[in-house]
Amino acid sequence: MLDLDTKNKLKEYLSLLEKDILIKLSVGSDEASKNMESFINEVSSLSNFIKVQKTSLERTPSFSINQVNKDFGISFAGVPLGHEFSSFILALLQVGGRKPKLDDNLISQIKNINDKLNFVTYVNLSCQICPDVVQTLNIMSVINPNISHTMVDGASFQDEVNAKNIMAVPTIYLNDDLFHSGRITIEEILEKLGINTTKNFSEQLFDVLVIGGGPAGASATIYAARKGIKTGLIAERIGGQVLDTSTIENVISVKSTTGTKLASDLEEHIKDYDATIIKGHKVKEISKTDYFNVTLENNTVINSKTVVIATGASWRNLNVPGEHELKTKGVAYCPHCDGPLFKGKDIAVVGGGNSGIEAAIDLAKIASHVTILEFLPELKADKVLQERLYKLPNVKVLTNVAVKEILGTEKVNGLIYTDRETSKEHRIDLEGVFVQIGLAPNTNWLGDFVERNKFGEILVDAKGATNVPGVFAAGDCTNSPYKQIIISMGSGATAALSAFNYLIRN
């Protein structure tokens, strides 16, 4: 199942194994089982450290990765190809003795978990964000024998997915109860388990505290740390919007990369400097006493002499009845991640800009039928995209309409829209709604602390300064006219340098 080039690369990785590995394989006589057995046999033939033993596991076909005399609770139900191939390789290496790349403090907190935790993550092999979650939970299983994790390929276990009404990936269950849907970091998992991962940071005073881990925040952190001042970075996750982007071709000198690769590169670059990364957390509010007091959602307060706000933007919501209630139950925002779950189903894409039409073109290959709903009288997408769209036989375009309500209880079953010309309401029966109506700045948490425009964007001057002395801002959360990665990086550098100049003068 692996081509020669992949085998050669995998053999290089497997040469790093330090301990014998036993793969316990649970297969039947079906085609999926035959594929899995073929895959495992190919892998095991590449290293003398790997042995295979047939057994019976909870799911068939599936396999677990263990040391010869020690089980680690890591299982894969489905052949881990596509984006999950890297998860498989890392699991082999970590079970085989390679230490996970994780902060020692987090490792200690994971080791101290005494409860039995059985995680199951449902994924699509084409999902770009799923491997982050799978790899995180696998690491926890390697560190603590009380923790186990199974990756389940939804396409291979469709009945199980349907029985749980899973309409978005990754979806995580813990001890048979829904735990989380969507991207989540190891810090966020620990917080959800009741473990405070930030209490030590409240005792520190930073010179510059950057809020936000996208291109602007990463750039600001690097530029501040290079000045030799005490620098901290608070981020839900490093990469921001970049993580939801499949291909990036406009970062100068880099002809092409992926969002996940760029995000990983940003984090590795930050780690080259003496900067404190506080990952997996959102800021709730900011105030000023002797210093700036930044309060996280877990109520930890972190103090700094200056602040750079780089919280970026996020998908804009429709704000209609049913949208919030049916998120991950048919209402989706990432066609690359969740599209495969809607194979053979009728769906809608709301938004006629480039992102909406690109999504519709991609989804038309998977879905039975795609209806596009655009608020304006005409589509806003580039002409070349519209030409491609109108060649598709299973797409219908509705313009000059307003979505009024998304229908459903356990999952989406329809949508009501209003014809803006006649004011007449119409219903469409469908099973999925992809919202693609642009981005909104992540600034509501600021309240009146800094001045913002009517769009919620932070007003900054040419040096990235806000109306509050000592507070700077950068990237897509500001009134910068162009929302581009390279512009965000430049504005992050500007804000950090301005914060440094403020410090040496005050």
274: annotated active-site residue: no
Q: What's the rounded Cα separation, in Å, for the pair 355 and 336?
A: 12
SS3 for 86-146, per residue? HHHHHHHHHHCCCCCCCCHHHHHHHHCCCCCEEEEEEECCCCCCHHHHHHHHHHHHHHCCC
Q: Hey, what are 277's tokens?
A: 């990364």
Preceding peptide of 335 cis, ω within 30°: no
Query: 149: how many CB neighbours lie within 10 A of its CB?
Result: 27
Q: Looking at 334, 382, 429, 476, which residue is catalytic?
A: 334
Contact in structure between 227 and 308 (CB atoms under 8 Å): no
Q: What's the rounded Cα separation, in Å, for the pair 44 and 436?
A: 44
Residues 6 or more apart in contact with residue 186 via CB below 8 angstroms: 102, 106, 136, 139, 140, 280
Q: Looking at 132, 244, 338, 476, which residue is catalytic?
A: 338
Half-sphere exposure of 233 (CA within 13 A, CB side): 33
Q: Hey, what are 7's tokens?
A: 């085998």
Q: What's the rounded Cα separation, in Å, for the pair 354 and 372?
A: 12
334: annotated active-site residue: yes
Residues 6 or more apart in contact with residue 329 via CB below 8 angstroms: 165, 167, 168, 408, 410, 411, 412
Half-sphere exposure of 398 (CA within 13 A, CB side): 21
What is the three-class DSSP state of 244?
helix
Q: What's the rounded Cα separation, in Å, for the pair 214 and 449?
A: 22
477: annotated active-site residue: no
The catalytic site residues sit at 334, 337-338
